Structure 1
């Protein structure tokens, strides 16, 4: 990057996104990051910039890209007209990814567990009879036993919004069970 200050700002912004989105440090909100790093930008430009940058980090995280995949992805993003990633920013984002990939992946894995009993994974459809491809889906697998102790498995694929709704309902069930136990 031409201006070393711009590189540091981008590093700071990426670290702020990491701390908020993957470590739960809510004080790293958009207002704080704007005031600390990008007051020189119009607020609307900043909001668009951080939204797109978060989308890129989320795409890399949700597909668990290795360094080579991330580099290919970022270089393709840099070729997009009006995109948030420029050729100057590719190396900064790659360095961030190299330093934070495992922590982000661990955090995503820890979020795919409810009450220590129900687990799921996120996957990307590469082929679908409904022609919806490259969309993240949650794959839920429930193992049950019938009356004769025969194991049966129910596997369900749902999108992220539906997964969020399932988690809310599971939390409601857990709350109700706790109330009954008291």
Structure 2
């Protein structure tokens, strides 16, 4: 029963580390974790356990270990002087299997400095008006790409449109809320890029 309890407390500690370190939940503190999970051990013992688990979890997360890599790593850790016990390795393995994707997504979003693709949509339109009569009722493919920071509000969002017509040439239109001007830029690929104020 004591082994089951220690597994439960270690699992709670790992969840607390993940909340604080990877999910940026500032309400989870070292003091709170000690008081809730390990009130009977000294502060030095708890701090040592916390730092060891942070280090092991950081190694696992930074390598984005799959199951076989994780097993090899944890086996090496159990044989290492000052490493983890077999029970701790089992809890770490179960924790990583359950939280790998969320921690990976969090690390990627924290390390991304630029915008990324959020959504893609497409449609085929028929032109109903045109300067040239032969382009009326011509099929036009429109692909819209929405760029923005993951987890950010709509303010920094950019929408790009790729439009293919009969001539197979296309223009890339970037609609940026922070650009109040419209200027064509010419790329070396022959693609015209327009920055349009919204």
Fold match (TM-score > 0.5): yes
2:37 pairs with 1:37 = yes
**Pairing of 1:165-176 with structure 2 (within 5 A):** none
Q: Work out which structure has the larger RCO, using CA pairs closer than 8 Å and 6 or more positions apart in sequence.
A: 1
Question: Could you tell me how far apart the structure 1 residues matched to 2:103 and 2:31 are?
Answer: 23
Task: Give the aligned partner of residue 177 of structure 1.
Answer: none
Q: Shift in Å at residue 34 of structure 1?
A: 0.3
Question: Could you tell me how far apart the structure 1 residues matched to 2:3 and 2:59 are?
Answer: 27
Higher helix share: 1
CA deviation vs aligned residue, 1:30-76 (integer Å, no higher than 9, x gap): 10000000112111011011011101101111111001111110111
Q: Shift in Å at residue 116 of structure 1?
A: 2.3
Task: Give the aligned partner of residue 94 of structure 1.
Answer: 93
CA deviation vs aligned residue, 1:87-128 (integer Å, no higher than 9, x gap): 1211111000000001111111111222528xxxxxxxxxxx
Structure 1 alignment gaps of length 5 or more = 118-148, 151-182
CA deviation vs aligned residue, 1:12-46 (integer Å, no higher than 9, x gap): 00011111111111111110000000112111011
Task: Give the aligned partner of residue 172 of structure 1.
Answer: none
SS in 1 for 2:25: coil
Question: Could you tell me how far apart the structure 1 residues matched to 2:10 and 2:46 are?
Answer: 12
Task: Give the aligned partner of residue 167 of structure 1.
Answer: none
Consecutive aligned runs of 4 or more in structure 1 exceeding 2 Å deviation: none
Question: Could you tell me how far apart the structure 2 residues matched to 1:47 and 1:2 are?
Answer: 21
Aligned residues: 120
Higher strand share: 2
Which of 1 and 2 has greater Rg? 2
Question: Could you tell me how far apart the structure 1 residues matched to 2:71 and 2:2 are?
Answer: 20
Question: Could you tell me how far apart the structure 1 residues matched to 2:2 and 2:82 are?
Answer: 19
Task: Give the aligned partner of residue 173 of structure 2.
Answer: none
Structure 2 alignment gaps of length 5 or more = 117-186, 189-198
Task: Give the aligned partner of residue 50 of structure 2.
Answer: 50
Task: Give the aligned partner of residue 25 of structure 1.
Answer: 25
Question: Could you tell me how far apart the structure 2 residues matched to 1:13 and 1:78 are?
Answer: 19
Task: Give the aligned partner of residue 104 of structure 2.
Answer: 105
